[in-house]
Amino acid sequence: MASILARVDQIASGQWSLVSREQLQSAEISNKAIAQLLKSGALRRVGYRVYATLGSPRSWEQGAMASVLAAGPDAVASHATAARLWGFAYLPEEALDVTVLVSGTERSRRRGLHRTVILPASDVTERSGIPCTSFERTLCDCTTRLSAFQLGRVLDDGLRRRVASLDRLLKCTVRLDSGPGRRLRMIQRLLAERDESFDPGGSASELEVLGVLREAGVPLPVQQHRVCVEGRAFVLDFAWPDQRLFAEYYGLAVHSGASAVASDNSRLTAMVGAGWGPLVFTEKTTDSEMVRSVTNALRNAQSDWALSDL
């Protein structure tokens, strides 16, 4: 029995302490031996033909892995499950979604199980030890579960973290078809708005600014907000569009020099001329100054609204 347990542990060690019956049989562990392991408590059933080893902690990841193992060797976590594994900035309604590669058009009635005839190796990867769809494939699969705004923010966050690629997303879109569960026109629109020179922004310093505002309970801005002023397109670091307020972080290494200063001044002048209120932060700005500036600016914007309604 000791040798059998060693084989079980070897299989389970890399997949959240789980094993499938097929894996046990491939390791030459008989059905009788499996029954004995279940009876003794060395294994416990957690899904269809899927078992957890003794003492293994229950977790969301273990549940996700169990769903993948239960669906078979060609299954991967997908949709909402893969979105969570990738840490999407916006998550669809929580569900355990699994996609299985099939050769026909057979449909499954099992909730959360999706069948596809298109699942190339480039659309499959692994996160936290769990087989799942790639970031780009997951984004395409979530087009009926997230809004266009949310999809754009998820994509930009993925580009910022270097886990997404516009080129891979384009290739993925070309391979797939739209249908009841997928609206690729939304992805095509996102790609049309982002060329090879697109910068999603969100430097480490900018993200620190966002963290300070979040911790202070200040209404959070929209990141990388696009505006068009007199035919010129600008991408603002942070914006509160309803209040026509924006904030920029000027790192001295990037925003110094004659050309940078001229560009920054031209940008600020255009935005102010269009009725936007500017806030500029640098590495010299303290957290308290930042919070106070944003709070006062938002309060003043609200007051202006109230006066305009009189």
What does the domain layout of the chain look like in residue ranges? 2-56, 65-192, 204-308
Please tell me which residue, 180 or 284, carries the higher pLDDT value: 284
Please tell me which residue, 18 or 178, carries the higher pLDDT value: 18
| CATH architecture classification, 204-308 | 3-Layer(aba) Sandwich (3.40)
> What are the E-state strand segments in the chain?
18-20, 43-47, 50-53, 75-77, 98-101, 113-116, 124-127, 130-133, 222-229, 232-240, 245-250, 277-282
Q: Is 106 a residue whose pLDDT tops 70?
A: no
For the beta carbon of residue 179, count every other beta carbon within 10 angstroms. Answer: 9
Asked whether the domain spanning 204-308 has the same topology as the one spanning 2-56, the reply is no
Confidence of residue 203 (pLDDT cuts 50, 70, 90): low
Question: For position 107, what pLDDT does the model report?
Answer: 53
Confidence of residue 126 (pLDDT cuts 50, 70, 90): very high
Confidence of residue 185 (pLDDT cuts 50, 70, 90): very high
Q: How far is CA 38 from CA 22, 53, 121, in A?
A: 15, 10, 35
Give the max Cα distance, the chain.
84
**Cα(278)–Cα(255) distance, rounded to whole angstroms?**
16
Question: For position 167, what pLDDT does the model report?
Answer: 95
Question: For position 22, what pLDDT does the model report?
Answer: 93
Topology annotation, domain 2-56: Arc Repressor Mutant, subunit A (1.10.10)
Q: Is 78 a residue whose pLDDT tops 80?
A: yes
> Which range among 67-71, 131-135, 145-149, 283-287 has the greatest average pLDDT?
131-135
Q: How far is CA 30 from CA 21, 23, 24, 39, 46, in A?
A: 10, 11, 8, 14, 19
Kindly state the DSSP code that residue 241 receives in the 8-state scheme: G
> What are the E-state strand segments in 17-150?
18-20, 43-47, 50-53, 75-77, 98-101, 113-116, 124-127, 130-133
Q: Return the bridge partners of 179, or none.
A: 182
Please tell me which residue, 308 or 78, carries the higher pLDDT value: 78
Question: For position 256, what pLDDT does the model report?
Answer: 42
Radius of gyration (C-alpha) of the chain in whole angstroms? 25
**Cα(114)–Cα(79) distance, rounded to whole angstroms?**
9
Confidence of residue 217 (pLDDT cuts 50, 70, 90): very high
The average pLDDT across 273-296 equals 92
Average pLDDT of the chain is 86
Please tell me which residue, 205 or 297, carries the higher pLDDT value: 297
Amino acid (one-letter) located at 108: S
Question: For position 196, what pLDDT does the model report?
Answer: 73
Residues with Cβ within 8 Å of 112's Cβ and at least 6 positions away in sequence, in order, are 67, 95, 96, 97, 98
Lowest mean pLDDT of 92-96, 173-177, 199-203, 215-219, name the range: 199-203
